[in-house]
Amino acid sequence: MGTYTFPSHYPLNCPPQPHDEMCGTYYRLVKNGNTSDPAHFKSHYEANLRKDLESIKACSRRAVSMFKAYEDAIKLSILFPTKGKYIMCLKLTGGHGVVCEENYRSFKSHHNWWVPNGVNAQHFCSDIKGPVS
């Protein structure tokens, strides 16, 4: 497992321990089909959203959400279309940061990705499909 440095605004013990180096294909719901849009990878913290939840979900606010199962991304888009209608495919390899499972009842393959300093998340985007109808 690599040693990473994360932005200074990360709280203590974030990303959480223990975690595994997780590789493979992941899917993230995004709002447009432009593969080079930097907004696709903004965490809630970076987008300055849901500040009200900083006290209880500070670490999750700094992560980028994605799914291991393509179907989960589709379901999220169906249930909450404003979350996005395009599905980005990410091919993660070693050295990309920390990925942890955070299973939800409705989206069992959900994972959080904490992107370390010096890693450009856009480089892992292999494709964007959509819109989900």
Partner 1 sequence: MNTKYLSDIQGSKVKSNIFQGFVVKETLIEYDFPLLLEARSPKGDSWLFKWCDTIEHAQLERWIALPISESRLKAIKNDSLSLREAVTLSEKEFYVFDAKSFFEPSEIKKSSPEKLPIDYLPSDDVSVSGSLLGLKMPERECLKVRLHVFSELISEGRAPLSIISSLQNIFQQYMTWVAHAIDRSSEEGVPSSVIDWSGFNLTSVKAGSFKMECESNSNREQTEKLTKACELLANLSNGTFDKESIEKEFDGIYRSDIVLLVSSLAQFILDSKLSMSISWASSNNPKGYLAIDKRRVKKYFDSLDSLRDAEHVRNITIKLTPKEADPIRKTVKGEGGMQRLLRRLQSKLKKDNTISLSSDEIEKILRYGLNYGQGGFENQLIGLAMTLRRIGIPFNTA
Length of the chain: 133
Q: What is the CA radius of gyration of the chain?
A: 14
Report 8-47 residues binding partner 1 (CB under 8 A).
44, 47
In the complex with partner 1, which residue's Cβ is closer, 9 or 50?
A: 50
Contact flags string 61-100 toward partner 1, x per CB under 8 A: ----x------x--xxxxxxxxx-----------------
Q: How many other CB atoms sit within 10 Å of the CB of residue 3?
A: 5
Residue spans of beta strands (DSSP E) within the chain: 24-30, 64-67, 86-92, 98-101, 110-114, 125-129
Nearer of residues 71 and 127 to partner 1, judged by Cβ: 71
108 binds partner 1 per the rule CB under 8 A:
yes
